[in-house]
Amino acid sequence: MNRLKEMVVCRCEEVTFGLLQETAEKHQCTARELKLRTRAGMGFCGGRTCRVSVDNMIASIVKEVSLSDIPLKYQPPIRPVTFRSVGDNHE
């Protein structure tokens, strides 16, 4: 059980399962609040890696939250650009 608590769920922000679980149980919070309290899903990938795990954790711990209240949106940290705009020589 101790190894589970030490498991990193959000690799970008190094948020562990134990921290997420403790925070969710203590505050009975929504996924958005859990994200703000722990920074899970706020790293470089913008939640693409850990979002599903955080959503499932909230669903299992906070019984008053419906599945429609859970989803976090994730956003890419960058804007797509064309290869031409990157490779243009403006000298």
How many CB atoms neighbour CB 90 within 10 A?
A: 3
**Average pLDDT of span 72-90:** 64
pLDDT one-digit tens code per residue, 3-61: 888 999 999 899 999 999 899 889 888 778 888 899 988 888 888 888 888 888 877 88
CATH 1.10.10 fits 2-87, yes or no: yes
Domain ranges of the chain: 2-87
**Report field, pTM of the whole predicted structure over 0.75:** no
Q: Residue 67 contacts by C-beta under 8 Å, 6 or more apart in sequence?
A: 59
CA distance 73 to 86: 28
